[in-house]
Structure 1
Amino acid sequence: MRSTRPTTTQTTCDCEDCESFTLTGHLRRTPVQADRHHMQAAADGWADVEARDYCPGCPPGLPVEEHDHEGLWVDDEPQS
């Protein structure tokens, strides 16, 4: 699910058992910033299938029992 507010853009995983989300904050959001948020989510492995968003741990092609709802796919290491 996608949510756009005056200062944030958020994408939440549409898998029923998942609580994953990605959030981008803005001083003042513009349509270009919201587009960048969605492009970065796609680059990070988020999938948009039939207007539903799935995190990298919940690939739409796998049965729900095989999804990673613990978020073990998240990289906690700082980017350099």
Structure 2
Amino acid sequence: MRSTRKATTQTICDCDDCMAYKLTAHIQRTTPDQQAAGHHEKAAAEGWTDREGRDYCPGCPPALPVEGHDHDGLWATGDVPAA
């Protein structure tokens, strides 16, 4: 799930059992669309996936069944999951 406000953009993992999120605070004056685009570009570089309008953290690759997801923090270690 994505949300953009005046000073922040947030992405929450859409996997039901995961509590991962990415939050970006904006200190430069740009449009909300520019802020969101930068946030999502950085999230994609960190391994976040956007599939059919749903966002998944690197520990929850949509190609794997939910049982194969790492809800305990693979996304936090910087490791890239095998898809």
Compute the RMSD of aligned alpha carbons: 1.4
- Give unmatched runs, 5+ long, in structure 2: 79-83
Tell me how far 1:71 sits from its aligned partner.
1.0
- Partners of 2:3 and 2:9 within 8 A in 1: yes
Instruction: Report the TM-score when normalising by structure 1.
Output: 0.86
Higher helix share: 2
Tell me how far 1:72 sits from its aligned partner.
2.7
Q: How many correspondences in the alignment?
A: 76
- Give unmatched runs, 5+ long, in structure 1: none
1:50 alignment counterpart = 52
- Partners of 1:10 and 1:22 within 8 A in 2: yes
Instruction: Report the TM-score when normalising by structure 2.
Output: 0.84
What secondary structure sits across from 1:34 in the alignment? helix
Separation in 1 of the partners of 2:25 and 2:51? Answer: 24
Name segments (4+ residues, structure 1) moved above 6 Å.
Answer: none
Describe how 1:22-61 pairs up with structure 2 within 5 A.
Answer: 22-27=22-27, 28=29, 30=31, 31-61=33-63
- Partners of 2:58 and 2:74 within 8 A in 1: no
2:77 to 56, 62, 75: 75
Separation in 2 of the partners of 1:16 and 1:58? Answer: 10
